[in-house]
Structure 1
Amino acid sequence: MAEQRRQGGPARGKGRPQGGRPQQGGKRPPRDRDWKRPADKQESRSEAQARYDGPPLPEDVTGKELDRAVAGQLKGLPEKLANRVARHLAAAGLLIDDDPETAYQHTLAARARASRLAVVREATGEAAYAAGHYAEALAELRAAKRMNGATAYLPIMADCHRALGQPEQALKLAKSPGVANFSSEAKAEMTIVEAGARRDLGQLDAALRTLELAPLNSKSREPWVVRLRYAYADTLEAAGRTQDALEWFHRTEAIDAEEITDAGGRAATLERALD
């Protein structure tokens, strides 16, 4: 996630009292209609409608492609609306790897219809992240987290902070209490992001220590182990430890059957440099 991709609002009532009661002095606070955006900042009706409509939906996408747990969260919607939202979410899921921008537009269409559902905000955040819209991704995932209290989004949120030039905020999320209860895969993702944030701050030794505390020697060949090893090898090279980096690129390649990294190519480049 982190290395290979790049590698809440004001308090309630702020600016006006709740309930629309007059402030001391007898002057009423401005109503919502008084707080209009300047004309040059207002979105045109056609732009809003285009986002609501979303990209064309493939005829063969029915919405039944969704995971049962996701589909279950749409049951509170009217049937026709639920079907439309489901189709946009399903289309986004099918496109997110190959065409993340169109996937993101599908999730915006779903959000325009069902913005109060955490599953919709989560999908919008993940698609925004995949498409490189990091500020939007962070906002959507924060909204989802407020709705359902889930912590699974923390690694992506932390990486968004990195992409936005806020490594200190990424490190704060990496230290969240909920991380201790993560699965091995999620812990690995957070570790990679945390190490990346340390690198962003020029703290290479701290980045290496962070990765060395992770299960780099796990016998598992799961992608999360591949990614951990790759991040470690990459950080070793950045630290000038070329021979150690070469070893870990080879160790990464040895378990990377799906070739999710370019560890083999990186190793070959280092070998040529060492000759």
Structure 2
Amino acid sequence: MTGKELDRSVHQQLRTLSKENAEGVAQHLVMVAALLEAEDLVGAEAHAETAVRRAGRVPAAREALGLVAYRKGEWARALSEFRTARRLSGSSHMLPLMVDCERGLGRPERALELATSPEARTLTVEERVELAIVISGIRRDLGQPQAAVLALQIPQLKSSARKPWTARLSYAYADALLATGDESGARDWFSRAADADDEGETDAADRLAELDGVVMVDLLEDENDDEDDQIDGADDVDDEAAGPSRRA
């Protein structure tokens, strides 16, 4: 990890630091991303905290620590870091995660208020899609399944072009439809999600199989059961051969 793997925008933020410190912080930020991908949250947190200690006023460092906290389900800490990053950078691109943090903290009304704030209009298309998915989840939490469906009926849902968000958006829409009792519609959208999910981001294929009544069988477990049955059978044969005195 050299640190050069970071986006140009992050390198621009690091220009406020000394050359040596900037290089070190960059390496820590790269490690945070790599360890998050590897599901090593402890390691990612250690690197993120070091980056914040060395560059506390660099938005990317605070954002990295916020992402680790978010992945750990530490909603209050994540929200605090995201707010700090937004204050330092003036960017609201983490708004969908901030809304989800409010949801995680059990504050759905505050989450919806944040989701409809003026800052939401500054989001990119991908960020707006993520926000719609979060809003739909909040509506379901509130027992509003129809509103959850409506929240996802955005232009990107019906787009024929495959985008990075296609699988997750289709999956969320299928889940929302299922909550309304529309199994046919849910099946259709789980199928679309499975077709678009090249990276295995969702369990759409499993959900589709479940709706179709397909029972998944663990063949390895069956083989182990067969081996146990053979052993038990062999024991029974030995017992018979041993005669009554052995059974006593």
* Aligned 8 A contact 1:158 1:173 in 2: yes
Equivalence map 1:1-275=2 (5 Å): 61-98=1-38, 99-272=40-213
Deviations 1:218-262 (A, max 9, x none): 112113122111001011112222122112111222222333211
SS at match of 1:96: helix
For structure 2, which runs of at least 5 residues remain unmatched after alignment? 215-248
SS at match of 1:197: helix
Paired with 1:199 and 1:265, the residues of 2 have a C-alpha distance of 21
* Aligned 8 A contact 1:101 1:131 in 2: no
Deviations 1:45-81 (A, max 9, x none): xxxxxxxxxxxxxxxx232222232122212222332
* Aligned 8 A contact 2:62 2:81 in 1: yes
* Aligned 8 A contact 2:63 2:82 in 1: yes
* Aligned 8 A contact 1:104 1:131 in 2: no
* Aligned 8 A contact 2:99 2:111 in 1: yes
SS at match of 1:223: coil
| Letter matched to residue 151 of structure 1 | S
What's the counterpart of residue 24 of structure 1? none
Paired with 1:84 and 1:162, the residues of 2 have a C-alpha distance of 35
Q: Could you say which structure has the higher helix fraction?
A: 2
* Aligned 8 A contact 1:195 1:208 in 2: yes
Deviations 1:172-215 (A, max 9, x none): 12102232332221111000001111111111111111112443
* Aligned 8 A contact 1:233 1:248 in 2: yes
* Aligned 8 A contact 1:155 1:190 in 2: yes
TM-score, length-normalised on structure 1? Answer: 0.73
Deviations 1:75-125 (A, max 9, x none): 222233222222211211211121133212211111112111222112221
* Aligned 8 A contact 2:157 2:166 in 1: yes
Q: Is 109-118 or 71-80 further displaced after alignment? A: 71-80
* Residues 85, 248 of structure 1: alpha-carbon distance in 2 compared, 3 angstrom cutoff: same
How many equivalent pairs are there?
A: 213
Please tell me the root mean square deviation across aligned C-alpha atoms, in Å. Answer: 1.7
* Residues 148, 119 of structure 1: alpha-carbon distance in 2 compared, 3 angstrom cutoff: same
| Letter matched to residue 106 of structure 2 | G
* Aligned 8 A contact 2:92 2:122 in 1: no
* Aligned 8 A contact 1:111 1:124 in 2: yes
Q: Is 184-193 or 63-72 further displaced after alignment? A: 63-72
Paired with 2:125 and 2:7, the residues of 1 have a C-alpha distance of 22
Q: Could you say which structure has the greater relative contact order, defined with CA pairs below 8 angstroms and 6 or more residues apart? A: 1
TM-score, length-normalised on structure 2? Answer: 0.80
What is the percent sequence identity of the aligned residues? 45
